[in-house]
Amino acid sequence: MTAVLEVRDIAKSFGGVHAVQGVSFDVHEGEILGIIGPNGSGKSTLFNCILGQLAPTRGEVRIDGRNVSGKRPSELNRLGISRTFQLLQVFPQLTVRENLILAGQEHKGSRLGRLFGARDAGLGAAADRMIDFFRLGHLAHENAGGLSYGQQKLLDAAMAFMAGPRLVLLDEPAGGVNLTMLASLKERLQAINRETRATFVVIEHNMEFVMALCSRIIVLAEGRIIAEGEPAAVRRDPKVIEAYLGH
Ligand SMILES: Nc1ncnc2c1ncn2[C@@H]1O[C@H](COP(=O)(O)OP(=O)(O)OP(=O)(O)O)[C@@H](O)[C@H]1O
């Protein structure tokens, strides 16, 4: 199996705080990998190192076998890497469809196009496909700010897929989403994963959601991997239970 993403011995310290202390793993094509761990275990720092938002203290990140360490987020975008953020990135005063088009332009790196370009910048068809896929049709022309929080999270996820990414990093997609929307979010993410064979890495606090969504889980504690495997095995692992209870 091809490794789409290879993380090799990534470490990141902030002064005396060793947030990530030598983490290595591979993610294979089409896989949905979950990264969990107690608060402060280094998940966000690791994500930001992978995504070029933070420079790691040491280590290497490879995409499709190519070393991308030190590349900026915009360059990673062009290599087919997309992300969602913990906090919503939707523009409340724009419609659902406009938000999707904007996200597509962002991924293409055309900020000028974003300001001066044609209204749909050739991305209307792609936006409509995403609207259908994420079942947002009845909301397509509503302002995003008028949507429920769960619907906005669905839109946020849909925006990450506008450029047909090969690798998507999702930062707490389920955060603050109610139970009904959670089921639909999980189902849609699994469907788009099957359909596009895109590879996902997900950071998530909601244990039920991450266990149901992912095929494999990595558990971080104090900046190190303490367990890795199928969700059911990870859930039973005494080291994992202790890391959460001891926190
Ligand atoms: N910019 C920074 N400067 C100093 N310390 C930082 C910085 N970012 C993170 N840290 C520290 O690094 C450690 C790991 O933080 P990180 O946010 O990566 O953990 P996390 O697992 O994502 O936590 P959470 O689940 O609460 O989001 C923590 O001790 C945190 O205080």
Q: Which residue, by CA, sits nearest to atom 6 of ligand 1?
A: 14
What's the pLDDT tens digit per position in 217-235?
999 999 999 999 999 999 9
Are 220 and 111 found together in one domain? Answer: no
Pocket test for ligand 1, best of 39, 45, 47, 222 (most atoms within 8 A of CB): 45
What's the gap in Å between 44 CA and the centre of ligand 1? 7
The question of ipTM being above 0.90 is answered as yes
**Domain interval for residue 122:** 90-164
What's the pLDDT tens digit per position in 170-190?
999 998 888 888 998 999 999
Picking from 143, 164, 185, the residue at the C-terminal end of a domain is 164
What's the gap in Å between 43 CA and the centre of ligand 1? 8
pLDDT for position 107: 65
Q: Are the C-beta atoms of 104 and 139 separated by less than 8 Å?
A: no
Are 76 and 139 found together in one domain? Answer: no
The Cα–Cα gap between 81 and 134 comes to: 20
Low-confidence ranges of the chain (pLDDT < 50): 112-114, 116-118
Pocket test for ligand 1, best of 44, 172, 206 (most atoms within 8 A of CB): 44
Q: Are the C-beta atoms of 157 and 99 separated by less than 8 Å?
A: no
Protein residues whose CB sits closer than 6 Å to any atom of ligand 1: 14, 17, 19, 37, 39-45
Q: Which residue, by CA, sits nearest to atom 12 of ligand 1?
A: 19
Domain count, the chain: 2
- Does the residue 85 lie in any domain? no
pLDDT for position 118: 46
Q: Which residue, by CA, sits nearest to atom 13 of ligand 1?
A: 19
- Does the residue 57 lie in any domain? yes
Picking from 122, 148, 164, the residue at the C-terminal end of a domain is 164
Indicate the pTM of the whole model: 0.89
- Does the residue 245 lie in any domain? yes
